[in-house]
Chain A
Amino acid sequence: MIPILLLLVPVIGGFLAWATERLGKTAPRSIAAVVLLVELALAASLLFPGRHPLPVTFAREWVPRLGISFHLALDGLSLLFVMVTAGIGIAAIAAPRSGNPRSPGLFHANVLWTVAGIVGVFLAFDLFLFYLFWELMLIPMYFLILLWGQGASRAAGIKFIIFTQVSGLFMLLAILALFFHAGTTGGGYSFDYDRLVGRASPSPLLFWAMIGFFVACCVKLGIVPFHAWLPDAYCTAPPAGSILLAGIMSKTGAYALLRFMVPLFGAQAIPFERTMMVFGVISILYGAAVAVAQTDLRRLIAYSSISHMGFVLLAIGAWNEPALQGAVVQMVSHAVIIAALFLLAAHLELHRGTTAMQGMGGLWGAAPRMGLVMLLFALASMGLPGLGSFTGEFLTLLGSFRHSEVLAVLAASGGILSVVYALSMMHRVFQGEMRGQGIPDLPLRAVALFAILSACIIGIGLYPRPIIGGSAASLAAVQRAASLPADPPPAGARP
């Protein structure tokens, strides 16, 4: 029952938040916070394997004619990401709303529905259901960008929805190709993950299908040739929207690669690994280089996110144990870092009205607490040892070095650029001569939130074992699934 509860709680909570709008301006935010805390607690209750040992599943028939079932399951990896989703969701609703104050109830409802869609992606074990949630989470996010965004939010929203929808349809074609391939080679017609794993045999059709799947994932991740929507969406969305987009929605792309693409297209995906790594390295270098040149804080953060997601793709391409562990740690720590950075940008914007860095400088004197937090997360962003992203990047480089020395070296050199942009961000906003008027420091509630986020990032850096250990069984399972030999078609089967 817990998987379905995890889905229903934010959906119903969204309606509740919408309905309580008339009680007061702050009521929806409190409702949303309570709902997300309940979600987090529900997920955390599975950490103690008592009555519910992992994996927990929930399966019902949905459209039996086509082999579509409502199959949700929670294993270590899903559980980890569901918890991250709930946590980042809390950070998102804690962000100050500098945009227009229209309808707080609908705003929080959309945040909660986005969370529900993302949780659905992490829980779905039926490919059709997965695709459904993959598309579903875009719609409330589109409305967040459209209705509460700043600047050219309408154009950014359209760009976002066209990129993600069209790539989603390519993913659907890939899923259908796999479905019919499995059906005609005697595996039975089913969209169920467990029945589709290991059914792909080498064929040009499935190779192109895999490319479609890969492109859909890359669009979500913001990998370089497919990233055109990303900076605009991140910069025009309301702070809560950018935190959700960068913090967790981008992780669904990596999760889909890890859980679905490589295991399902095992026979094709193994030779494709090198290409994936190349795409990852290009993203690392390009994202970091463009980030260096940015003058707007939010755009800088957006491009740094592209660079960090490149590391995740590199790790998934390397596809060995340390690399995959690195990918998971990198995803979690990047979620925390990017959420904190966007929160800081939102605080800056609240008081200065803009995040352009030209008019800023020397704010440390006015807001030392904010400066300290920014310093910590800037250091985390450039991968300082002892902080979360260092663990992720180190494991990634370790794994990919085994695969290809050249690519690993190139990826590591991206680290130099990340130092440049992280320090220049710090320098241009907080150091130097004081420019413009000062800003009030972080309020106490925000300090508490940042304390939790800092504790997370330091905790992951110093003691990543819970994350690695928790996801180890799932990672081993996907690795096993990807290396399954493709079944030869049974004798007498029709071609």
Chain B
Amino acid sequence: MTPLDWHMLLPWVILGAGAVVSAPVAAFLRNRVLAVSIAGLTLVATMIACFAVAPLAPRHVTPLIIVDPFSLYFVCLIALCTLAAALLAHDYFRTAEPLHEEFYAFLLLAAFGAATIVASAHFVSLFVGLEILNVSIYVLIAWRMQDGKGVEAALKYLIPGAVGGAFLLFGIALIYADLGTMEISSIVSLLAAGGGASLMVTSGALLIVVGLGFKLALVPFHLWTPDIYEGAPVPAATLVATVSKAAVFALFMRYFFPLLALRTVAPSALTAMAVASMIAGNLLALRQENLKRLLAYSSIAHMGYFLAALLSGGRFGVIAATYYLTAYVVTLVVAFGALSMLSAQRSAETIDDVRSLFSRSPFVAAALGVACASLAGLPLAAGFFGKFYVLAAMAAQGKWVPAITLVTTSGIGIYYYFRIIATLFERREAAAADTSGTARRGTSLSAAVLTVAVIAVIVLGIVPGPLTGLIARIVGRKARIGFWNSKIVWMAAPLLIRPGNVRGNNLRGVLHVTERYNQDLGLTDPCALPPPRRLSRGNRRRGRALRRHLPPFAVSSLPRRRRLRAYRRQPLQRGVRFQDPYRP
């Protein structure tokens, strides 16, 4: 760890230090304002640190963490969402819960875990980050202990979370057993070099997808979502809906997509998962009377949209998914912010509670309406461009089945989003003068969050250009994920990876060269790249030749006993995974 390494870690250090400091401060001083200010300052400082670090990125800090524009972007997004959740919590717990100062410490801890996930370059940091995130979310969900629903929700999150974690660990173990490394970029390179994956790696990757599918609530693993959204306190639900989804999705984009491109997992199976998520999420949301459950089911559908965008491949797919994810997260902050402002002593949850809300509190009703419009993909809201980019990414690669599924299922979505809008604006009957679900007094911080988020949704819906430009630059500068789909990479990978290169961040080296290839061929447009092909026989031979240069334990075709022996015999050397045996 050089001083530069410490400097690069600044956002993570600040976030972790904030969590560590705020816990004793909350416990001993018991000052609500102090607790929320520490959390707010920490998160703002984290964002500033991201900008300070950005010029020096990308850099590997230890084999565990990679600090590149992509991870910094997501750290900023996570910090923003956590900030929103913290400010909402300040107003939300004002009357309901006298002791909630530690809530912010756990919020910061969750943000730290999420930030670790998006920057992880190694299975160890991935797993540690995921567990930090999970454990803090268990606590946040169960915050109102006297409320049976909260505890039930926490249990329901704990069990799938633990099962998902077990799947993830087993998948990691399988991959490690076969390839002998846990560094994700090395795994990708090894697979590229070998020209394909063994059965063990395939099943490992499949298990990892299952583990992450639990976190993302993709369709066969989605059953926990509505109960969590319903039972958790609204700020905690905000965190689950935005931060944890964004972090896991960033991870998905960064690493598992290249793994998929290398056909460890059949892409058609994932496409089926995406399509099933769209259909099931939208259908289940259709008859929900509870707004939080409705948002939960719609989040399942949206995860399907993201996954489909990502699977459509190409750099454009990654840009589209990142943009839509950002738009979605901001929209959800609006939706949950409005719900948080509405939940008085008796929480406002069902559609009936927001009936003719517009005549009672027009601002909150308008915000909720904007959120619904954005989720439905209406123009002048962020979701419109999100949906447009996602459809464009699918059309670019000719993925018409998920595209048409998206179109038809979002028709279902329009029904329930517009049902909310229609209820919000319903005429008030003269007799209905009850104040259920009216915004409480003393919610100025929530109102500020809501205002900023609504403005963000509308601005993103009118001028998406700057953000997509930023995302495109970020995706361009980090490992060019989408190019793994391209023929050129497939052709070139066995030639380019020299054993000496197979460590650290060699992925970037490979991709830098491919980019030059692309420029030489005049292929500047990422949309024009063809779908992946099987390697030619010559390249497969080159792959085999290359395998001879790898250490014996990394060659999956050798018997397992020999590989283990070779692995145990290798000299222990820090930071260097594979050594060229022929180099003096």
Indicate whether A494 sits within 8 Å of B468 (C-beta atoms), given known contacts A146-B425, A166-B408: no
How distant is the Cα of A139 from the Cα of B422 in the complex, in angstroms?
12
**Contact (Cβ within 8 A) A180 B527:** yes
Contact string, B519-558, partner A, CB cutoff 8 A, digits 1/0? 0000101011010000000000000000000000000000
How distant is the Cα of A180 from the Cα of B323 in the complex, in angstroms?
20
Query: What is the CB-to-nearest-CB distance from B31 to chain A, in angstroms, rounded to a whole number?
Result: 44
Chain A residues within an 8 Å CB radius of B408: 166
**Contact (Cβ within 8 A) A143 B527:** no
**Contact (Cβ within 8 A) A166 B410:** yes
**Contact (Cβ within 8 A) B380 A62:** no
How distant is the Cα of A205 from the Cα of B400 in the complex, in angstroms?
10
**Contact (Cβ within 8 A) B422 A169:** no
Q: Is A64 an interface residue (CB 8 A)?
A: yes
How distant is the Cα of A142 from the Cα of B417 in the complex, in angstroms?
13
Chain A residues within an 8 Å CB radius of B379: 132, 135-136, 139
**Contact (Cβ within 8 A) A139 B378:** yes
User: Which of A136, A143, A176, A184 is the one whose CB lies under 8 Å from B391?
Assistant: A176
Q: Is B392 an interface residue (CB 8 A)?
A: yes
How distant is the Cα of A367 from the Cα of B330 in the complex, in angstroms?
58
**Contact (Cβ within 8 A) A135 B465:** no
Interface centre among A102, A162, A179 (most CB of B within 10 A): A162
How distant is the Cα of A162 from the Cα of B408 in the complex, in angstroms?
10
Query: What is the CB-to-nearest-CB distance from A106 to chain B, in angstroms, rounded to a whole number?
Result: 10
How distant is the Cα of A313 from the Cα of B425 in the complex, in angstroms?
37
Query: What is the CB-to-nearest-CB distance from B15 to chain A, in angstroms, rounded to a whole number?
Result: 32
Query: What is the CB-to-nearest-CB distance from A7 to chain B, in angstroms, rounded to a whole number?
Result: 14
Chain B residues within an 8 Å CB radius of A177: 395
Indicate whether A135 sits within 8 Å of B422 (C-beta atoms), given known contacts A166-B408, A173-B404: no
Number of chain A residues whose Cβ lies closer than 8 Å to a Cβ of chain B:
36
Q: Is B6 an interface residue (CB 8 A)?
A: no
**Contact (Cβ within 8 A) A142 B411:** no
**Contact (Cβ within 8 A) A157 B422:** yes
**Contact (Cβ within 8 A) B468 A147:** no
How distant is the Cα of A147 from the Cα of B369 in the complex, in angstroms?
14
**Contact (Cβ within 8 A) A162 B411:** yes
Q: Is A265 an interface residue (CB 8 A)?
A: no
Chain A residues within an 8 Å CB radius of B398: 205
How distant is the Cα of A63 from the Cα of B528 in the complex, in angstroms?
19
Contact string, A108-145, partner B, CB cutoff 8 A, digits 1/0? 00000000000000000000100010011001001100
Query: What is the CB-to-nearest-CB distance from A49 to chain B, in angstroms, rounded to a whole number?
Result: 34
**Contact (Cβ within 8 A) B418 A142:** yes
**Contact (Cβ within 8 A) B388 A166:** no
Q: Is A413 an interface residue (CB 8 A)?
A: no
How distant is the Cα of A157 from the Cα of B425 in the complex, in angstroms?
13
Contact string, A433-470, partner B, CB cutoff 8 A, digits 1/0? 00000000000000000000000000000000000000
How distant is the Cα of A157 from the Cα of B528 in the complex, in angstroms?
41
Q: Determine the main DSSP class of A at the interface with B.
A: helix
**Contact (Cβ within 8 A) B378 A135:** yes
Interface centre among A132, A147, A157, A165 (most CB of B within 10 A): A165
Question: In the complex, which residue of chain B has the Cβ closest to the Cβ of A494?
Answer: B528
Chain A residues 41-82 with CB under 8 Å of chain B are: 62-66
Chain B residues within an 8 Å CB radius of A135: 378-379, 384
**Contact (Cβ within 8 A) A143 B472:** no
Chain B residues within an 8 Å CB radius of A166: 407-408, 410-411, 414
Chain B residues within an 8 Å CB radius of A370: none
Q: Is A350 an interface residue (CB 8 A)?
A: no
How distant is the Cα of A189 from the Cα of B524 in the complex, in angstroms?
12
Chain B residues within an 8 Å CB radius of A63: 464-465, 468
Q: Is A154 an interface residue (CB 8 A)?
A: yes
Q: Is B415 an interface residue (CB 8 A)?
A: yes
Chain A residues within an 8 Å CB radius of B418: 142, 157-158, 161-162
Indicate whether A172 sits within 8 Å of B419 (C-beta atoms), given known contacts A161-B414, A166-B408: no
Chain A residues within an 8 Å CB radius of B387: 169
Q: Is B354 an interface residue (CB 8 A)?
A: no
Indicate whether A162 sits within 8 Å of B391 (C-beta atoms), given known contacts A63-B464, A65-B469, A154-B422: no
Question: In the complex, which residue of chain B has the Cβ closest to the Cβ of A148?
Answer: B427
Q: Is B396 an interface residue (CB 8 A)?
A: yes
Chain B residues within an 8 Å CB radius of A102: 427
Chain A residues within an 8 Å CB radius of B403: 173
Query: What is the CB-to-nearest-CB distance from A187 to chain B, in angstroms, rounded to a whole number?
Result: 12
**Contact (Cβ within 8 A) A165 B414:** yes
Indicate whether A146 sits within 8 Å of B465 (C-beta atoms), given known contacts A66-B392, A135-B378, A135-B379: no
User: Which of B388, B404, B414, B468 is the one whose CB lies under 8 Å from A162?
Assistant: B414
Q: Is A26 an interface residue (CB 8 A)?
A: no
**Contact (Cβ within 8 A) A173 B395:** yes
Chain B residues within an 8 Å CB radius of A161: 414, 418
Question: In the complex, which residue of chain A has the Cβ closest to the Cβ of B395?
Answer: A176
How distant is the Cα of A384 from the Cα of B291 in the complex, in angstroms?
56
Chain A residues within an 8 Å CB radius of B391: 169, 172-173, 176
Q: Is A213 an interface residue (CB 8 A)?
A: no
Q: Is A100 an interface residue (CB 8 A)?
A: yes
Interface centre among B395, B406, B418 (most CB of A within 10 A): B395
User: Which of A147, A180, A183 is the one whose CB lies under 8 Å from B425?
Assistant: A147
Chain A residues within an 8 Å CB radius of B464: 63
**Contact (Cβ within 8 A) A173 B407:** yes
Indicate whether A169 sits within 8 Å of B407 (C-beta atoms), given known contacts A63-B465, A158-B415, A158-B422: yes
Q: Is A255 an interface residue (CB 8 A)?
A: no
Query: What is the CB-to-nearest-CB distance from A229 to chain B, in angstroms, rounded to a whole number?
Result: 12
Q: Is A342 an interface residue (CB 8 A)?
A: no
Query: What is the CB-to-nearest-CB distance from A249 to chain B, in angstroms, rounded to a whole number?
Result: 16
Chain B residues within an 8 Å CB radius of A179: 392, 395
30 chain-A/chain-B pairs, Cβ below 8 angstroms: A63-B465, A132-B379, A132-B384, A136-B379, A136-B380, A143-B425, A147-B425, A147-B427, A154-B422, A158-B418, A158-B419, A161-B418, A162-B418, A165-B376, A165-B410, A166-B407, A169-B387, A169-B391, A169-B406, A169-B410, A170-B407, A173-B391, A173-B395, A176-B392, A179-B395, A180-B395, A184-B527, A189-B527, A494-B528, A494-B530
The 6 closest A-B pairs by CB, nearest first: A176-B395, A166-B411, A169-B407, A63-B465, A136-B379, A135-B379
Starting from the known contacts A158-B418, A179-B395, A184-B528, 13 additional A-B residue pairs (CB-CB under 8 Å) come to A62-B465, A63-B464, A63-B465, A132-B384, A135-B384, A136-B380, A139-B379, A147-B425, A165-B410, A165-B411, A166-B407, A173-B400, A205-B398
